[in-house]
Amino acid sequence: MLLAEMLGYADIAQLMRIAEMYRLECDGHSKHELMQTIMAAALEKNRFEALLDGLSLEDERFLHSLLFDDRDAFSLEELLARVRSSRFDAEAKPGSPEEVAAVRLEFDPIVPPPERRTKRKRKSAAPKDEPAQGGGSSASGLRETISRFKQYGWLFNGTNGTNRYLFRVPEDLKERFRDVLAERLARRLVYAGEPLAYRDEQELMADDVLVLLDYAARHVVPLTQDGVMYKRNLLQLLEALAVREEPPARGSWRFGYGRRFKDYPDRLAFLYDYCHYKGYLSERDGQLRLTEAGASRLASRAIEEPEELYRFWVRLYRAAIPNLPAIVRLIERLADRWVTADSLRGALQPFVRPFYYDDPASVLDKRIFAMMVHLGLLRIGEDENGRTVLRLTRAGRQVIGGSGTRDFEPILSG
């Protein structure tokens, strides 16, 4: 829905609150005039950018999480979780019943019944705590963020008759926000010319799916009690793959990015988890075995679709990086030409939440940039000044732009 449509669903009271936020002078008795005046103000470039300049970093993260989500509606619980997630010192989790009740109370206030008159006065009892209205300073802050976005005219509820607590962002505002946000971040970037040399791994990941299946078909691959390949087989397999990796150091910190991330190097761990998830491989009777589905895939020599590999990566890593789809969509816009990795990392770091021992820089370099190169979404090179540079591939534009962000539920694994 567009902004004009959502303003049409809003009542006069909400329109007046939006007009007051924008300091507009208009006839409060004419809904049509209110709508027209708000439309002009909300879409005016200078005013629009001034509001963005005034946002806190937490509010900007919250806005960012909404802009690159293709869903057309969000529940109140989801919004509260996103507001909390934008505060990197808080855990991202759905809104509690008390927090949800507090926000609903604000948007749909309950009018108390009139007091009954009694002949004698009774001593007033001490006021009781009302968690539904306050919910503590944390709940209050979450509520204020959502209320503020409503007053800006960026969030609307009540446009769906079946559920007044579904919230929407107008589509035309979404597109304006995406463009302005990308423009603002692009000012911080350092673009470069064509590098002296670059690496492009398009199709290599899909080819290596067949290499892994072929290895399992041709070799007896015994597994440890923990279901892990022994070093001899692991080194043989790594030698056969298109991109060379070293086994992870013993005792190194490795968890959160897939089922076998702790046991194998990053790219192989992803390949292995993908094949296991698709049902091509099984760990049975102490051995790694090719399944019927895997044998059929290998016999057909059918190449995995890039979109399938991409979607699996987002789902696998999203448990550790909740806003990964949004970060990738920003990279799609910002890396349309060669850009230094340092400047791209610097622009995106404020939006990336640390994950245990992975600080935002490590998350970007190792978990996002490197994996996007492995998936053929980014090229990586070195310019004449020795700087690492990145650029979106044509396949990257097609895969990211065509995949949207729906159905990216994280795959929870060790």
Q: Give the pLDDT of residue 113.
A: 40
Q: Are 84 and 92 in contact (CB under 8 A)?
A: yes
Confidence of residue 30 (pLDDT cuts 50, 70, 90): confident
In this structure, what DSSP letter does residue 257 have? S
Lowest mean pLDDT among 45-54, 74-83, 112-121, 332-341: 112-121
Mean pLDDT of 338-345: 98
Count CB atoms within 10 A of the CB of residue 61: 22
The answer to whether residue 91 scores a pLDDT higher than 50 is: yes
Spatial strand order in the sheet of 156-157: 74-75, 166-168, 156-157
Mean pLDDT of 20-45: 88
Q: Which residue would you say has higher pLDDT here, 302 or 103?
A: 302
Q: What are phi and psi of 164, to 5 degrees?
A: -75, -5
Count CB atoms within 10 A of the CB of residue 116: 5
Confidence of residue 125 (pLDDT cuts 50, 70, 90): very low
The answer to whether residue 92 scores a pLDDT higher than 70 is: no
Q: Which helix (H) or strand (E) holds 377?
A: none
Q: What are phi and psi of 382, to 5 degrees?
A: -135, 125
Token pair for 225: 């009690």
- Least Cα distance to 133 among 99, 164, 167 occurs for 99
Q: Match domain 197-201+306-403 to its CATH number in 1.10.10, 1.10.3470, 3.30.70, 3.40.50.
A: 1.10.10
Q: Give the pLDDT of residue 329.
A: 95
Q: Which residue would you say has higher pLDDT here, 228 or 48?
A: 228
Count CB atoms within 10 A of the CB of residue 50: 10
CA 106 to mean position of chain CA atoms: 28
Q: Give the pLDDT of residue 128.
A: 37
Q: Give the pLDDT of residue 286.
A: 96
**Segments making up each domain of the chain, as ranges:** 3-109+133-186, 197-201+306-403, 205-300
As a whole number, the mean pLDDT across the chain is 87
The answer to whether residue 414 scores a pLDDT higher than 70 is: no
Token pair for 177: 């926000």
Q: Give the pLDDT of residue 229.
A: 98
Q: Name the amino acid, one letter, at 188.
A: R
Lowest mean pLDDT among 138-152, 176-190, 209-223: 138-152
Q: Give the pLDDT of residue 405.
A: 62
Confidence of residue 160 (pLDDT cuts 50, 70, 90): low
Confidence of residue 27 (pLDDT cuts 50, 70, 90): confident
Lowest mean pLDDT among 45-54, 148-157, 197-206, 289-298: 45-54
Q: Which residue would you say has higher pLDDT here, 142 or 371?
A: 371
What is d(CA 91, CA 80) in angstroms, rounded to the nearest whole number?
A: 11
